[in-house]
A and B are shown apart, each in its own frame.
Chain A
Amino acid sequence: MSRLAATFEQLAKSGRKALIPFVTAGDPTADFTLSLMHAMVKAGVNVIELGVPFSDPMADGPVIQRASERALANKMSLTKTLALATEFRKTDQQTPVVLMGYLNPIEAMGYEGFANAAQRADIDGVLTVDLPPEEGEHCAALLKEQGIDTIFLLAPNSSNERIEKMSAVGSGYLYYVSLKGVTGAGHLNAADVENKLKQIKAITSLPVGIGFGVKDAETAKTISSLGDGVVVGSALISNIERNLDDLDAAKTEIVELLSAMRRAMDE
């Protein structure tokens, strides 16, 4: 069983939900990201989404765009992100790591080369924002051969037909984008999410993580109760942005926010 499947199964058994932080690899340095990943695990997260920086993050709001820009300014890349994941895995064999990013860095590496490199780095899942299943079946098959899950996005306007498709091609979990918009947007509506999750859950047996617009412990609690996990990204990264001259403070604030989310979700 994959690390992701095992994680979600164990959480389900204990009646808990997955807390899934997203951070951009190399923001502002690879060393900081590495120590932040370990600190987040201590704060009670279950899966880490590691953002691969890209020059043109079309689906991201300003906070994650700037995180990408900071990482790229420090010469971060897909290759170095894989090296960072390898480093993380040396002392943490439990926490699943999912790479999240855009297709072109993978195109540049080549799909097969990427699948092999991701396997060597012991990556658990890959979520490529601009690779829908229509274009992505080949890549998903190569990753599957290496035991890596391909995670697809679902949106508020996804039809039953598309939910079935993602459920068939995807594995690990499905990522439900809770609103029409970019990451970090501010108009998440819990009632809408609840209705859509009913529709999704009627079709798929995969766990569903919900993200986009989750800002605080209260939202994390509400949203996670509607699915199997909650993804939080911009709210964490804005702490880095505010504390670029004091990264220890950034780390402390992120850990505090995640701990508060954990407590609220477990209540």
Chain B
Amino acid sequence: MTEKYTMPDARGHFGPYGGMFVAETLIPPIQELNAAYQKYLQDPEFIAELDADLKNYVGRPSPLYYAERWSRELGGAQIYLKREDLNHTGSHKINNTVGQALLAKRMGKTRIIAETGAGQHGVATATVAARLGLECVVYMGAIDVARQSLNVYRMKLLGATVIAVESGSKTLKDALNEALRDWVTNVDNTFYIIGTVAGPHPYPAMVRDFQAIIGRETKQQCQEIIGKLPDALVACVGGGSNAIGLFYPFIEDELVKLIGVEAAGDGVASGRHSAPLCAGRPGVLHGNRTYLMADDDGEIIETHSISAGLDYPGVGPEHAWLKDTGRAEYVNITDDEALEGFHALTRMEGIIPALESAHAMAYTMKLAPAMRKDEMIVVNLSGRGDKDMQTMAKREGIEL
């Protein structure tokens, strides 16, 4: 029943999506990066070093936790949580930064740059840069700097320079623009660690490959715990790295449903959301063709989500392809629903999820009751909620 899945092609295309849409100055460094990535992903020494770091530094494998009480309460499918929140630095982001930092080291780069939304990728990047003794500059939208100040402080403690980006909508997309401008200026010594499965080829494929450890472990753990594959996988989608990391090893297992949850903000109908797959159109931004939030003139629309990590007008090109082919389904969850998911998991299981992951939890609350008790859902708990305490308290009118 399985058809071999070989995306992307040699030039980074997932059907009509993906590709290398960048200014000429970035073509040579991207080609150099692609060559290094192709080489080292086949290199047993590189793989051994990566595996050792994932085990001893990140703390992998992350557990697959049976949310027994919550499953009982919802009265349908059995819910398992992939505990990426238990990784070092508190989210799945470190899987990718550890890998890219090892590449940077082998390529002889001395300076690391990154963009960040919620700050999780920025922290994960600052962490690996500190460990390798590399200079680190993190670009972050000024609005995100304000709403994720704890992570800003963490990055500074780790020795990174955090630059608040004041242009455009002052969120994640503008941080990405500014990081690209830095890279084009400092291409000789700088490695750009992109945090999601977006950007020009090879980033969408490379970040996916580093994050696919999530799905590979999940597959093995499902066999060990219940002796079969899950019926559905659920993950939140901003750029889409935690989702593709979970989905990718299951793409050929057609009986496993893949469900990505976008941020609907105030509701898709309100126009104030971050759900390009559900309500956007194809276009080109940040080096690849994908679904975007853009107006009729092709200008990028400002997005909205309570979670800074999902507040992005694009999405990884592989998700665009999985949507068009029908292999994955994409749904959306509003800010209010995400908050319900946040509270439910916190009170039912004693686990405080990141607001990003809370979107996946909220959709699980809709999905599980509609499934049979002998069915199994794996939800990616992509990050922990400590960083969101200020946002939550403010939203609920509490002064900390």
- A residues at B contact (CB < 8 Å): 54-62, 65, 69, 72, 77-79, 102-109, 129-132, 134-135, 152-159, 162, 177, 180-182, 185
Q: With contacts A55-B168, A108-B294 known, is A77 near B299, CB below 8 A?
A: yes
Inter-chain contact A55/B299, CB cutoff 8 Å: yes
Besides A72-B299, A108-B283, 6 other A-B contacts (C-beta < 8 A): A103-B284, A105-B297, A108-B281, A129-B23, A130-B22, A132-B27
Residues of A within 8 A of B173 (CB): 56
Contact-residue bracket for chain B: 35 or more
B296 is an interface residue with CB less than 8 A from chain A? yes
Across the A-B interface, how many residue pairs have beta carbons closer than 8 Å?
A: 120
Residues of B within 8 A of A108 (CB): 281, 283, 294-298
Q: With contacts A61-B181, A104-B294 known, is A157 near B285, CB below 8 A?
A: no
Q: With contacts A58-B177, A108-B283 known, is A155 near B25, CB below 8 A?
A: yes
Residue of B nearest to A166 (CB): B24
Bound CA–CA A141/B281 (angstroms): 25
Inter-chain contact A180/B27, CB cutoff 8 Å: no
* Residue of A55, A152, A156, A181 touching B300 (CB-CB under 8 A): A55
Inter-chain contact A162/B298, CB cutoff 8 Å: no
* Residue of A58, A72, A105, A162 touching B24 (CB-CB under 8 A): A162
Residue of A nearest to B29 (CB): A157
Residue of B nearest to A66 (CB): B167
Bound CA–CA A137/B174 (angstroms): 29
Residues of B within 8 A of A65 (CB): 167
B20 is an interface residue with CB less than 8 A from chain A? yes
B391 CB to nearest A CB, Å: 26
Residues of A within 8 A of B289 (CB): 107
B299 CB to nearest A CB, Å: 4
The B interface, classified by DSSP as helix, strand, loop or mixed, is mixed
Residues of B within 8 A of A135 (CB): 19-21
B100 CB to nearest A CB, Å: 20
Inter-chain contact A180/B25, CB cutoff 8 Å: yes
Inter-chain contact B181/A130, CB cutoff 8 Å: no
Bound CA–CA A108/B295 (angstroms): 8
Q: With contacts A58-B181, A59-B184, A182-B185 known, is A107 near B284, CB below 8 A?
A: yes
Residues of B within 8 A of A129 (CB): 23
- B residues at A contact (CB < 8 Å): 11, 19-25, 27-29, 167-168, 173-174, 177, 180-181, 184-188, 281-287, 289, 292, 294-300
Residues of B within 8 A of A134 (CB): 11, 19-20
* Residue of A55, A77, A157, A182 touching B181 (CB-CB under 8 A): A182
User: Which 7 residue pairs across A and B have the least CB separation, nearest first?
Assistant: A108-B298, A105-B298, A77-B297, A155-B25, A153-B24, A181-B185, A104-B298
A74 CB to nearest B CB, Å: 13
* Residue of A109, A154, A155, A181 touching B298 (CB-CB under 8 A): A109
Residues of B within 8 A of A159 (CB): 28
A11 CB to nearest B CB, Å: 24
Residues of B within 8 A of A56 (CB): 168, 173-174, 177, 285-286, 300
A185 CB to nearest B CB, Å: 7
Residues of B within 8 A of A105 (CB): 297-299
B48 CB to nearest A CB, Å: 33
Inter-chain contact B28/A158, CB cutoff 8 Å: yes
Residues of A within 8 A of B294 (CB): 104, 108
B19 CB to nearest A CB, Å: 5
Inter-chain contact B299/A130, CB cutoff 8 Å: no
Bound CA–CA A185/B185 (angstroms): 9
Residues of B within 8 A of A104 (CB): 283-285, 292, 294, 298-300
Interface-centre pick from B181, B186, B292 (highest chain A CB count, 10 A) = B181
Q: With contacts A108-B294, A162-B24, A177-B24 known, is A58 near B299, CB below 8 A?
A: no
Residues of A within 8 A of B27 (CB): 132, 155, 158, 162
Q: With contacts A107-B283, A132-B21 known, is A78 near B297, CB below 8 A?
A: yes
Inter-chain contact A132/B24, CB cutoff 8 Å: yes
Interface-centre pick from A54, A69, A159, A182 (highest chain B CB count, 10 A) = A182
A selection of 12 A-B contacts at a CB cut-off of 8 Å is A55-B168, A56-B174, A58-B180, A59-B181, A59-B184, A62-B167, A103-B284, A105-B298, A130-B284, A131-B21, A162-B28, A180-B184
B300 CB to nearest A CB, Å: 4
